[in-house]
Every structure is written in C-alpha cells, then in structure tokens.
Amino acid sequence: MIILVTGGTSTMGKHLQQILPQATYISSKDCDLTDYKQTLDKFKKTSPDIIIHLAALVGGIQDNINKPVEYLQQNLLINTNVIKAAYESGTNRLISLSSTCAYPDKLNSYPMVEEDIFQGPPPPTNFGYAYSKRCMISLIDAYNKQYDTKYCYITPSNLYSELDAHKSGKAHYVTALLDKITEQERIGGTTITLLGTGKPLRQFTYAGDVAAIIKMIAYNNINESFNVSDPETYTIHELAAITLKALDKEHWDIVYDSPELDGQYRKDVSIAKMKDIIPNFVFTKFAEGIKKVYSLREKQIN
C-alpha cells in the first residue's frame, strides 16, 4: 500500500514517521500545496492508495489573533488543493486532520459531539483557522456524497509533543509552558507567568497517540470521521499545576497576565463515536505524557 503524507515535517508528521516509516512524507520544500498544479503533479507522480493530510498553517492563540487572513487564506488553499488533487489523481482514500478549534465558541451542552460542528460560530480568537477547517470537512463530505470517495477526517483536541516547534508567539500551550519552565531553571527562578486567567477548560492529547490512531485508520479500512481526545478535562491552571508536580516543582508559583487572551472557555469533546470504532485504545494520561515530553525535550537540548 502506497501512503503519501503531507505536512511531513510537522509535529504530527514526525510522530507518524516513527511508526509508519514506509510512507512517503512531503513538506513545503517538496511541494507548494497552495499551488494546485504542483499538488496534482506530485500526487500523480506518487500515485498513492491513501493520502494522510496533515499540512496546515498552525500557531498559538496570539498569532491566530494577529493573522486571521493568513490562517484562513493559506489553509483554504492547501485543503482545497489537496482534496481536489486527491480525487483527480485517482486516490480513493484520504485521512485529514481537523481540530476542535472548529467547534462553536459556546454551546448549551458538553462534551461536544461531531454533529455540533455547525451549531454556532467558532471562537473569535482563531476564526480564520477554524473556518478553514469547517470548509475542509464540508468539502470532504461533499466529495463523499457526490463521488462516493472514502475520505474522512479526525478531530483531535489540543495536542502536546516533545517534537512541537519552539517559535516565539506561535508555540502551542504545553510547549510554551515547558519553555517557560526551562527558562526559569536557567535563571534560577521559581515563577512562571501564563497568559489569560487559568480558568478555561481544555483536553490535551499526546500527539503520539493521535499518530497511532491515524495508522489504525489507514490499515483497518476505517472511513468514518470522529473526535479524538484524551477524555480528561482540566482548567489551564490545573494543567500547569499537574505539569509542575510531575516535574517535582510543585512549590513553584503560577501567575497570570493578559486576561483577554483566555480564548474559548471550554471545548471538550465526546469520544463515544471513536470508542465504537476503536474500542480498546488507551490514551496517555497527561501527567505521564508531560513527564515523557519534558524528559525527551531535555535530552534534545542537552
């Protein structure tokens, strides 16, 4: 089976390479996915049985607030070109990565289920990225309906990984948190300052778990779309406290600034559908995962 993976140098791409080395991985250096001709030519040349679509412009909350045009426009181009080129190149299976950021900002009932996706506008802090994902899943559903393709998408919660990019202003929450802990260690401090108020509720999933699920979907002929998440839900403050405790730093202080950067209050999702499809999967507990990520990061730094 020939498998082509877009976003090969992304965090998820790197995790997938560890457990699916036989696939072909491409990045922006190999093909500009915002260019349809390049995308189609690459897909035709590779002639994959399955395309795993991970490529996207991603970043932290502040970068999403600052650059909504880029997050909407670039991701619309990438997703549209990939799906269209997959069909035109004769690829009948596609597995794409969505995000819980695409869910409504507020709902009357939680956790959110797959049918809730269009029940209200997404959070204003990342509406560009969120709408690009909504358009992507709508296009996938349209292709399946009109052309009987077997395209699907999974919707993971916030991810964390030892392979996440360390980009100022673009780093995701856990990476930024660990960067701040590392910096305090370097200067002999014992206080970390976080954005917001610490009150929003979040689910965090180890990226390696999501990679394992993608591999299972590919090799078990699964064509349904569903949420993917560690079911545990914590406040941002609780997540920081769990992290400090796991790293034997529970005596450290946590302070907050920029309360306007809280973002969406809650976006926890149900994984009942996933459990019906993959009943025996066990997620990495956050306390265990964060310890692993921190340890692997330290080895990379040293």
Which residues are catalytic, by number? 129
CA within 13 Å, CB half, 7: 22
CA distance 83 to 79: 6
CA distance 14 to 20: 10
Provide the sign of the torsion angle of the four alpha carbons 271, 16, 161, 8, taken in this order.
Answer: negative
Provide the sign of the torsion angle of the four alpha carbons 171, 197, 209, 221, taken in this order.
Answer: negative
User: How wide is the angle at C-alpha 203 spanned by C-alphas 200 and 204, nearest 5°?
Assistant: 120
CA distance 76 to 62: 20
Helix (H/G/I), strand (E/B), else coil: 277: helix
Buried b (16+ CB within 10 A) or exposed e, 243-282: bbebbeeeebebebeeeebbbbebbbbbbebbeeebeeee
